[in-house]
Amino acid sequence: MTNNTQAQHTTVAEIQASHLHEIRNRKIERVSTRELFGFANDIPGLEFMPIPVERHPLTPAAQDDFVFNESLVRRTLLSMACGDSIMFVGEKGTGKTSLATQLHARLNKPLVGITGSNGVDDSYLLGCKTIQDGDVKAVDGVLSYAYRHGLSCLIDEICTLRPGVLVGINDILQGDELVTLKHHGIDPNLDPKELLSLKGGMNIVRHPQFRLFGTDNTGGKQSRDPRFQGVNSQNAAVRSRFTSFKVGFMSPEQEMKALKGAAAAFAAKRKLQTSVSDFNIQAMVEFAFRFRKAFSMSEASDNISFREIKRWAIKLMMYGDIHESFVDAIYSNLEESDQVNAENHFEATFGTKLQLPDEYAISVASQADAFTAGNIAKRA
Ligand SMILES: Nc1ncnc2c1ncn2[C@@H]1O[C@H](COP(=O)(O)OP(=O)(O)OP(=O)(O)O)[C@@H](O)[C@H]1O
Ligand SMILES: [Mg+2]
């Protein structure tokens, strides 16, 4: 018996029992957590994970080169075991979204996601009424569907949601066993004892495997960082319903491993006969750390993320030129003041001055002067 049956007088306990029955009937295997995440050692108390044998179609594709942080994975797995709603907070490009998806990939857990924006409202998350074949029908949103069927739901970029939207899902955030959808109407003649038996009804019994994940740059808080001024801050009561984890930059060693892996994965996928040398991998990571240090000392206005150095490594393989790949992957996106910083850090790292392409190196004034001088010479 599930939420979708037509049985009469179903109780919450019966639906929960049917969920457990369904879970127990799945074929699972015990897999070493160390092997699952590529750690050097076992995680005490979490040596093995139960992994469904059959791949769920909604399990994200695994990124084999993903580098997991052992402590973060351990605490996240233990919080997932408690049924917590989990928020990954951190700088752009530190791997918040991919940590959520890659955890699910390794655990073979189905995940549905939605990227936040100003336009996302209750109906995206919890559903709405719609017309189908001339009839009014209530449909689920991403979140209520996941709650009903035991999927994980990832809401990316929480800070872009209007503050009231998350307040409207406080019951789901805190893991209530039974939630009531607001958009459903109730047939006034319906016996209340039959409410839970309705197919796709307004009352949803939490599936024990449902988990909610969020990602955010500020953790839903007002930030003193000028890069995040004006983002929506979330109600403190909403934030208190999440277990939040800071996702920081990888250590230099981890970042080199991840960068090498990302470059190799790209080359293999495109069947490229090229790679990024260990020297360049190390230098790219060194450049990123020099820049991040400058940012931490308020000498730069933004950070360099792993996303950007990954693009640099890929462009290097495509372009075959460290200068051009750097300019297109990183330099052109920087604020002008940071471009000066970047040139200095590039030179300090590679021991050679950054060669800027024509669009930066040649000024309009010098082109105009040369062009005019040539024309005058021709006319003379
Ligand atoms: N630990 C890691 N190992 C390997 N690749 C990683 C790791 N962390 C991030 N990446 C890669 O870096 C890129 C950026 O990661 P992701 O999009 O998850 O960052 P994010 O923190 O969600 O960024 P944003 O705040 O901009 O949404 C992706 O291509 C991802 O695969
Ligand atoms: Mg993200």
Q: Where are the domains of the chain?
A: 12-246, 252-361
Give the percent of the chain with pLDDT over 70.
93
- Residue of the CA atom closest to atom 23 of ligand 1: 93
Q: Is 14 exposed, middle or buried (0-12, 13-18, 19+ CB in 10 A)?
A: middle
C-beta separation of 306 from 93 below 8 A:
yes
Range 12-246 has CATH code 3.40.50.300: yes
Query: Is the pLDDT reported for residue 233 higher than 70?
Result: no
> What's the mean per-residue pLDDT of the chain?
90
Question: Exposure string (b/e) for 320-339, b if CB count within 10 Å is 16 or more?
Answer: eebbbbbbbbbbeebeeebb
Q: Is 88 in the pocket of ligand 1 (CB under 6 A)?
A: no
Mean pLDDT of the region 127-131: 87
* Residue 228: pLDDT band with limits 50, 70, 90: low
Lowest mean pLDDT among 127-131, 142-146, 342-346: 127-131
Confidence (pLDDT) at 295: 94
36-81 pLDDT, tens per residue?
999 999 998 899 999 999 999 999 999 999 999 999 999 999 999 9
Mean pLDDT of the region 125-151: 90
Q: Is 67 in the pocket of ligand 1 (CB under 6 A)?
A: yes
Q: Is 250 in the pocket of ligand 1 (CB under 6 A)?
A: yes
Helix (H, G, I), strand (E, B) or coil at 63: coil
Confidence (pLDDT) at 238: 78
- Residue of the CA atom closest to atom 26 of ligand 1: 92
Containing 309, the helix (H) or strand (E) segment is: helix 306-319
Lowest mean pLDDT among 33-42, 227-236, 353-362: 227-236
C-beta separation of 70 from 43 below 8 A:
yes
* Residue 2: pLDDT band with limits 50, 70, 90: very low
Q: Is 218 in the pocket of ligand 1 (CB under 6 A)?
A: no
CA–CA distance, 163 with 143 (Å, rounded to integer): 17
Ligand 1 atom with minimal separation from the 217 CA: 25
pTM for this model (two decimals): 0.89
Residue with the bigger pLDDT between 243 and 180: it is 243
Hey, CA dihedral for 243, 249, 252, 258, is it positive or negative? Answer: positive
191-208 pLDDT, tens per residue?
888 888 877 788 899 999
Quick one: which ligand is closest to 306's CA?
A: 1
Q: Is 116 in the pocket of ligand 1 (CB under 6 A)?
A: no
